[in-house]
Amino acid sequence: MPADAIRLSIRSIERRTLVQLPLTKEPAMDWATILAVTDGAAGSDTAMAAAIDLGQRFGARVDFLHVSNDPRDLLPYVGEGMSGTALEQVMASVEASNARRQEAVQASFTRLCSGAGLPVAAPDETVEAGRFAVCLNVRVGRQPEEIERLGRLSDVIVLAHPALTEGDESASMDAALFGTGRPVIVVPAEAGKGFGSKVAVAWDGSREAALAATAALPLLQAADEVVVITARESDDMVEPSTLARYLAGHGIEARTWGYVPAGESIAEGLLDQAGRAGSDCLVMGAYGHSRLRERILGGATEGVLQRAKIAVLMMH
Residue 9 CB-density burial (10 A; 0-12 exposed, 13-18 middle, 19+ buried): exposed
Contacts of 200 (CB under 8 A, 6+ apart): 226, 227, 228, 229, 257, 270, 273, 274, 277, 279, 281, 282, 283
The pLDDT profile of the chain, 316 residues, written as one tens digit per residue, is 554 544 444 344 333 333 334 555 555 568 999 999 998 887 889 999 999 999 999 999 999 999 998 877 766 555 555 666 777 787 888 888 889 999 999 999 999 999 999 999 999 999 999 999 999 999 999 999 999 999 999 999 999 998 888 766 789 999 999 999 999 999 998 887 899 999 999 999 999 999 999 999 999 999 999 999 999 877 667 899 999 999 999 999 999 999 998 889 989 999 999 999 999 999 999 987 655 544 544 478 889 998 999 999 999 9
The CA distance from 315 to 100, in Å, is 33
Domains within the chain, CATH numbers bracketed: 33-187 (3.40.50.620), 198-315 (3.40.50.620)
